[in-house]
Amino acid sequence: MNLEQQKKQARDLLRAVRSGDADALSRLRRGHTRWASVDDATVRQMVALHDAQFVLAREQGFASWPKLKVYAEPSSSIRPTRLFVADMAWIRDRVHGLLQTRRSAGPAALEQIRGWHPRFRDSTDEEIQRAPFSEDDARLVYAREHGFDTWAGLANRVNILAQNKDLASAEPFLAAYEALQSRDVPALRTLLLAHPGLATERGTNGNTLLNLAVSIEGKASRNCGEVLQAVTSPVGMSAIEALLEAGADANDGNDRGWTPLHQAAYSNQPEIAAVLIRNGAALEAEAHGAGGTPLVMALFWGHREAADRLGSYSAAPNNLRTAAGLGRPELVEAHFRNERDLSPDAGAARGFYRPHSGFPDWQPSPDPQEILDEALVWACKSNRVGVLERLVRAGARIEADPYRGTPLIWAAACNRTEAAAWLLDHGANVNQKGTFGGLSNGQGVTALHVAAQFGHLSAAKLLVERGADLSIREDLYHATAAGAANFFGQVAVRDYLQSF
């Protein structure tokens, strides 16, 4: 059995299901009971690659895709995980993340549980998602993943490493990570030369050194719109190239399916994305749910530079929110049957809705109104003013808050003053309260609160000029926008708001 051929067949089946092919939909329902009674629109929106892989496996007599993989490549096995942070508090945060995302993170997280928890070794995805799963279960997954039978054994190893001065011999992966953090490329190259398999090893949560290198290089642009494009340093690029030369796989995703290209998109690094693509990075790889491609990660945060680079290769997944985020009128128009009615593709592959567990659980629906409203939000994140009128004409609501933010709130978050001005010109309420981000800091906020949080002075000035009420307090901590700016250390915005 050729595993690559099986992977291709699974991808072909997924595309056919998402396109609405009747035979493919029937095949999915026959082979996967989860979808047996789900309507076509929901299937097309939520079906993911792991579902197609499961069908392929069952059609060939295997209980699951991992079982098929082991049969196709008997030498392949789950790789042990290396520590790269010697801090048990940090590892406990990862444990809590697994608990929070078990039902929504997708097949990679489920395979992490299946691979390392003996109780779930032969369980299907649905059985893992339905079964009781405690913090002790999650701790056992992380202990065994790192090569220990118990959580206490893992803790002991972490404490030993925290006091060890010779990491190069005690834990080369951790030493390499520290070399990346300190931008010591010669030390990194020395470690890669001394340990030939280091570039393909996996750290906590399945992150390879290449994934970590891209993450470190992109930290400067994490805040949406605050740094419109992170400048890739020659040193950072040298580290990435050193890892690729040493055999790092540009498509090696972590325990959430997150590849280095996802990370480059998430942190708005178009030059790194280009290097990864030249080295074979897959543009259609999905993480954190159906349709969670690298392009979608860039669009979620309004990272236009990375999105434009990725979109020049592929607009996957082909749905309305992607077209709106790219701001391409011809792609937007292709998702309408007429002036207002959406095509079936408009809502396909929308299972992805958050890049990490800091955002709350949500279940996207096939409701055409929700699809339109979400597309308007995504267009505003990236300042795609050219498609806003078409979306509103079709019925997208300027005041809608489909998931953690109205169009105006997201325009303020990403410092998109042109989009914000357009929305205000077309009836947006400058003082409307909404949600944003996580449940602990984004309840009952206005666009001005969010502009203040991120330090976007130009957005704050526009909102004030258009009538923003500086006295409004958000619902959780009862802070004004000036208070939010002060809390987040945004001195310029704070001083501006306090000048009134």
**290-317 b/e (C-beta count within 10 Å ≥ 16 → b):** bbbbbbbbbbbbbbbbbbebbbeeebbb
What pLDDT is recorded for position 90?
Answer: 93
Q: What are the structural domains, with CATH classification, of the chain? A: 3-72 (no CATH), 164-311 (1.25.40.20), 312-498 (1.25.40.20)
Tokens of 126: 């649905």
3-class DSSP state of 173: helix
Tokens of 244: 């690729």
Q: Which residues contact 405 (CB under 8 A, 6 or more apart)?
A: 377, 413, 434, 435, 436, 437, 442, 450
What pLDDT is recorded for position 227?
Answer: 45
- How far apart are the C-alpha atoms of 174 and 23, rounded to whole Å? 49
Give yes or no for a contact between 119 and 302, defined as CB atoms under 8 angstroms apart: no
Amino acid at 19: S
Q: Which residues contact 266 (CB under 8 A, 6 or more apart)?
A: 218, 297, 298, 301, 303, 355
How many C-alpha atoms does 320 have within 13 Å on its Cβ side? 31
- How far apart are the C-alpha atoms of 133 and 120, rounded to whole Å? 10
What pTM, to 2 d.p., does this model score?
Answer: 0.86
Amino acid at 207: N
What pLDDT is recorded for position 71?
Answer: 65
Q: How far apart are the first and last CA of the chain?
A: 72
- How far apart are the C-alpha atoms of 36 and 209, rounded to whole Å? 41
Of 479, 485, 402, the C-alpha closest to 451 is: 485
What pLDDT is recorded for position 255?
Answer: 82
What pLDDT is recorded for position 231?
Answer: 61
Tokens of 324: 């709106």
pLDDT tens string, the chain, 500 residues long: the values are: 678 888 899 999 999 999 999 999 999 999 998 899 999 999 999 898 888 998 988 887 777 787 777 767 665 555 678 999 999 999 999 998 888 777 665 666 788 898 899 999 888 888 888 899 999 999 999 999 888 889 999 999 898 888 877 777 778 999 999 999 999 999 999 999 999 999 999 999 889 999 999 999 887 444 444 444 556 678 889 999 999 999 999 999 988 889 999 999 999 999 999 999 999 999 999 998 889 999 999 999 999 999 999 999 999 998 999 999 999 999 999 999 999 999 999 999 999 998 887 888 888 999 999 999 999 999 999 999 999 999 999 999 999 999 999 999 999 999 999 999 999 999 999 999 999 998 888 999 999 999 999 999 999 999 999 999 999 999 999 999 999 999 999 999 999 999 99
Burial of residue 256 (number of CB atoms within 10 Å: 0-12, 13-18, 19+): buried
- How far apart are the C-alpha atoms of 268 and 229, rounded to whole Å? 6
How many C-alpha atoms does 266 have within 13 Å on its Cβ side? 21
Q: Report the C-alpha dihedral over residues 443, 98, 347, 323, rounded to 10 degrees.
A: 80
368: cis peptide before it, omega within 30°? no
DSSP secondary structure, 86-108, as one string = --HHHHHHHHHHHHHHTTTS-HH
Q: Residue 411's beta-bridge partner residues?
A: none
- The shares of helix, strand and coil residues in the chain, as percent rounded to the nearest 5, are 55, 0, 40
3-class DSSP state of 342: strand
